[in-house]
Amino acid sequence: GDSVTQMEGPVTLSEEAFLTINCTYTATGYPSLFWYVQYPGEGLQLLLKATKADDKGSNKGFEATYRKETTSFHLEKGSVQVSDSAVYFCALTASSGGSYIPTFGRGTSLIVHP
């Protein structure tokens, strides 16, 4: 079946550092790829998405590019802030018989220090 693998955390950075959270996937067909963010005590919010190869999703300074050749969707941000501290989930949605089936990674905790 489909799967999503993301780097284990926590990732600890100083403010203004460069962020990369790796995500790779296995899927049949052509999934759409997502990054979700979860702030403490809250549900998940959609951060960005990409629906086909070479698409770049971006939002709030975060970016991720759909790389079909490496089956990856790494999340990057050039300069993190303390307010970016949260848990980040990589996910894919694949179509199966007319339904869309989601698969999530285990989440990566990001801690940004002032």
CB closer to other proteins out of 40 and 114: 40
Residues that bind other proteins (CB under 8 A): 32, 34, 36, 38, 41-46, 49, 51, 87, 89, 91, 93, 99-100, 102, 104, 106-107, 109
Nearer to other proteins, 74 or 93 (CB): 93
Q: Phi, psi (5° rounding) for residue 35?
A: -120, 130
Residue number, 46 or 53, with CB nearest to other proteins:
46
Name which of 31, 28, 62, 23 is nearest 46 in CA terms: 62
Provide, rounded to whole angstroms, the least separation between the CB of residue 16 and other proteins: 25
Using CA atoms, how far apart are residues 34 and 38, in angstroms rounded to an integer?
13
Closest CA to 19 of 87, 106, 78, 81: 78
